[in-house]
Amino acid sequence: DVVMTQSPLSLPVTLGQPASISCRSSQSLVYSDGITYLNWFHQRPGQSPRRLIYKVSNRDSGVPDRFSGSGSGTDFTLKISRVEAEDVGVYYCMQATRWPLTFGGGTKVEIK
């Protein structure tokens, strides 16, 4: 199975400051079609997850442009350029390149 390792587990941030979350996979996430199926999700307390980023760097409709995804192969990053109060919650990376599909353990973002 592909193991997805996120860091840090917890990320206290100051409003208006940048934040960065790392996600590393135990195997390359490049599929045979050349596409890397790596998603990022945000889950607020008591809510369902919401996809933010798909295929490494594509932002979903309605997602603020302060969110960006990057990376390749086995090393990926989600960045928030300026954290706002609504960004608190847990962020998960997920790979959909190989079965079984697997999620990272999550990174909890909170305001200092």
Q: What are phi and psi of 42, to 5 degrees?
A: -125, 135
Give the shortest CB-82-to-other proteins separation in angstroms.
25
CA-to-CA distance for 28 and 73, rounded, in angstroms?
Answer: 5
Q: Which is nearer to other proteins, 15 or 110 (CB)?
A: 110
Binding site for other proteins (CB under 8 A): 37, 39, 41, 43, 48-51, 54-55, 60, 90, 92, 94, 96-97, 99-106
Sign of torsion over alpha carbons 66, 50, 24, 21: positive
Q: Which is nearer to other proteins, 81 or 106 (CB)?
A: 106
Give the shortest CB-94-to-other proteins separation in angstroms.
7
70 forms bridges with which residues in the sheet? 77
Give the shortest CB-15-to-other proteins separation in angstroms.
26
**Per-residue tokens: 83:** 């954290």
Q: Which is nearer to other proteins, 7 or 81 (CB)?
A: 7
Give every CB contact of residue 32 below 8 A, 6+ residues apart in sequence.
Answer: none
